[in-house]
Structure 1
Amino acid sequence: MSVQETAFQGFSNPVDPSPAELRAWAYQPDSVPLQSMPQDWDLLVSGDRLITTLFELAMDRSCPARRFALHCLYIYAADGIRTKFRAHPKRRLRKLVEQAEQTGDEPMLVWAHNSRVLLARPELFNYHEWCEGGLVRQGRRLG
């Protein structure tokens, strides 16, 4: 039985979900609506511990919570770049960007491009675009 077929049982601790819980929720996101999650849940889960899971979900075109996962990737990239990689390892972000460039579809290629642009020009950071979902909703490439 795959994760997609397993009934999501809820989070043992929504503030700190396990990768398996996040993955199970992502395939049944209506089971626990985002509105019922703790405030700034997207910011809470966009850290090193869950970034691989979020990346896998964002790469999966069939994942119902794909847009949420992609939004979290934008938060992760911006957080790392804005803190000069005190918050997250530069090597990990670079690997994710390279993997998205090699095997990702258009939304992932746009994320990789935008991450590279922000890395080269951190002054282009805009909280609304990177942390509130603006770039995910617009799907636009930064110049």
Structure 2
Amino acid sequence: MSLQESTFRGFANPVDPSPAELRAWAYQPDSVPLESMPQDWDLLVSGDQLITTLFDLALDPSCPARRFALHCLYIYAGDGIRTRFRAHSKRRLSKLLKQAEQHGDELMASWAHNCRVLMTDPERFDYHEWCEGGLVRQARRLG
């Protein structure tokens, strides 16, 4: 039985979920609605520990929480780029961008494109777009 088929019973610690818990929740997001999560949960989970899991979820078009995972990818990338990669590794982000370009669909390709645009001009960082979901709600490629 895969995690997608198992019943998600909640987080042991929602502020610090494990990759397995996050993956199980992502395939049954109604089991613990986002509204019931701690404030700024998206910011809390968008770190190095869960980025690979979030990336895998964002790559999966059948994942019910795909848009949430993509939103977290924008937070992670924006945070890394705007801090000149003090917050997150440029190498790790570059690997994710390459994977998104090679294996992702249009949503993931747009994320990779937008990250590359921001990398060339970090002054274009806009908190609303990168951290509050603007680029996910109105999916588009930055010019």
Fold shared, TM-score > 0.5 on shorter chain: yes
- Does residue 1:99 correspond to 2:62, yes or no? no
1:9 offset after TM fit, Å? 1.0
How much does 1:63 deviate?
0.1
Provide, for residues 36-57 of structure 1, a one-character-per-residue CA deviation record: whole Å limited to 9, x for no partner.
Answer: 0000000000000000000000
CA distance in 2 between partners of 1:96 and 1:49 (Å): 14
- Superposed counterparts of 1:17-56, under 5 Å: 17-56=17-56
Displacement of 1:79: 0.3
- 1:76 corresponds to which residue? 76
CA RMSD of aligned residues (A): 0.3
| 3-state SS of 2:8 partner | coil
Comparing both structures, which one devotes a greater share of its residues to helix? Answer: 1
Determine the C-alpha separation between the residues in 2 that align with 1:42 and 1:79: 13
Confirm whether residue 122 of structure 1 aligns to residue 119 of structure 2.
no
Which secondary structure does the structure 1 equivalent of 2:95 belong to? helix
Matched residue SS, 2:117? helix
* Letter of the 1:39 counterpart: Q
Q: Counterpart of 1:113?
A: 113
Distance of 2:127 and 2:31 partners within structure 1: 29
Report deviation, 1:138: 0.7
The sequence identity of aligned pairs, in percent, is 81
Letter in 1 for 2:98: E
TM-score for both structures, normalised by structure 2: 0.99
Quick one: which amino acid aligns to residue 44 of structure 2? Answer: L
Aligned partners of 1:17 and 1:4: how far apart in 2?
A: 17
The runs of 5 or more residues in structure 2 that have no matched partner are none
Q: List 4+ stretches of structure 1 deviating above 4 A.
A: none
Q: CA deviation at 1:103?
A: 0.6
Distance 2:91 2:15 in 1: 26
Q: Which residue identity is paired with 1:138?
A: Q
Structure 1 letter corresponding to 2:52: T
Mapped to 2, the partners of 1:108 and 1:119 lie a distance apart of 16
Matched to 1:130, the amino acid is W
Residue in 2 that maps onto 1:13? 13
Aligned residue-pair number = 143
Q: In the alignment, which residue of structure 2 is the partner of 1:2?
A: 2
Amino acid paired to 1:140:
R
Aligned residue type for 1:92 = R
